[in-house]
């Protein structure tokens, strides 16, 4: 082995050792920063109001459901604000979040704050709260269930395509994309929608302490503005998070000075590194890497002979 190759291998081993200590240094710096933030009360753990934010389409979200369930047993959480800006979503997804919020509401004060839109399943998850706030222009309500399908048999006939379906029973392929919905299939699907609709009405009636007979005329699928919803008893007050905190202070004895902390489905370390600590971490890493030995990849350990 030539002297030049020995030197290159030594440099490679040196680089490995240096990289190990650089990584260790970065980890130590980040750990110190996290410890400092915790000592300064900047990390979750002190008494606070938790904010659960639900935006966009509502679907089954196990991580969010678990995070909400954890609030019930967290002694540092004095109250919960559910912030909603959603057009709705799946019935089962709304039901799952509703039940999780209801479990928390059984143990500590929960208020709902509606954004521009809190309709259908978005309204469903609002009703377990002790108090619902909305803006005058918020669109809410839309209490009902929708099942949509398509049918393209006419198009297939025009292009000369015939669909053959083998099924175990007359209702197994209802609804179908390749043939019209049968009367029996329509009855079955309407029964499913009606049953889920009854569940929705019961959830609203229970959460709003209203008679189901009073809810049904309101639950024809139409949306309401916040001002209309207030007159109908579907919400409690016009306002936002500020008004919600004031109500918690006056009615539930929750200190208005408590910080509001977002409930996240990711760990604190990841939140910190993606937030204010992110640039700090990057600067430290660049500073350490700038001191590294620059090698030429594979050519650093394999040199062609000059002969």
- Residues in CB range of 123: below 8 A, 6 or more apart: 88, 140, 141, 142, 143, 204, 234
The tokens describing 172, both together, are 């197994």
Q: How many CA atoms lie less than 13 Å away from 174 in the CB half-sphere?
A: 18
**DSSP-assigned letters across all residues of 68-86:** HHHHHT-TTEEEEEEEEEE
Distance CA 79, CA 108 (A): 6
| Strand, helix or coil for residue 19 | helix
Distance CA 228, CA 37 (A): 45
The tokens describing 99, both together, are 């039940």
Find out whether 100 and 124 touch, Cβ atoms under 8 Å.
Answer: no
- Residue 223, H or E segment: strand 223-225
- Residues in CB range of 151: below 8 A, 6 or more apart: 175, 176, 177, 178, 179, 180, 181
- Residues in CB range of 21: below 8 A, 6 or more apart: none
168 annotated active-site: no
Out of 172, 255, 274, 292, the active site residue is: 172
Find out whether 103 and 96 touch, Cβ atoms under 8 Å.
Answer: no
Out of 83, 120, 142, 176, the active site residue is: 120
172 annotated active-site: yes
Enumerate the active-site residues.
120, 172
């Amino acid at each position: 082995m030539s002297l030049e190759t020995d030197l290159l291998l030594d440099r490679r081993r040196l680089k490995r050792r240096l990289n190990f200590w650089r990584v260790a240094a970065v980890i130590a710096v980040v750990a110190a920063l996290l410890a400092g933030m915790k000592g300064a009360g900047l990390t979750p753990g002190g008494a606070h109001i938790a904010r659960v934010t639900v935006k966009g389409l509502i679907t089954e979200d196990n991580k969010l459901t678990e995070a909400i369930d954890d609030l019930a047993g967290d002694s540092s959480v004095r109250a919960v604000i559910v912030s909603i800006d959603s057009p709705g979503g799946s019935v089962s997804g709304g039901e799952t979040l509703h039940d999780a919020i209801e479990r928390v509401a059984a143990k500590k004060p929960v208020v709902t704050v509606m954004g521009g839109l809190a309709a259908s399943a978005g309204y469903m998850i609002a009703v377990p709260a002790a108090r619902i706030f909305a803006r005058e222009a918020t669109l809410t309500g839309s209490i009902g269930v929708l099942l949509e399908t398509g049918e393209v048999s006419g198009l297939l006939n025009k292009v000369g395509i015939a669909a053959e379906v083998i099924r175990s029973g007359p209702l197994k392929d209802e609804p179908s994309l390749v043939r019209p919905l049968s009367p029996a299939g329509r009855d079955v699907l309407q029964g499913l929608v009606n049953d889920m609709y009854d569940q929705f009405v019961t959830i609203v009636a229970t959460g709003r302490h209203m008679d189901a007979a009073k809810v049904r005329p309101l639950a024809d699928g139409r949306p309401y503005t916040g001002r209309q919803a207030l007159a109908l008893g579907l919400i409690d007050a016009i306002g936002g998070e500020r008004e919600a905190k004031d109500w918690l202070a006056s009615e539930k004895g929750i200190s208005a000075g408590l910080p509001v902390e977002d409930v996240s489905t990711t760990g604190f370390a990841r939140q910190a590194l993606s937030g204010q600590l992110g640039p700090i971490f990057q600067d430290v890493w660049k500073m350490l890497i700038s001191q590294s030995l620059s090698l030429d990849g594979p050519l650093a350990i394999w040199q062609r002979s000059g002969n």
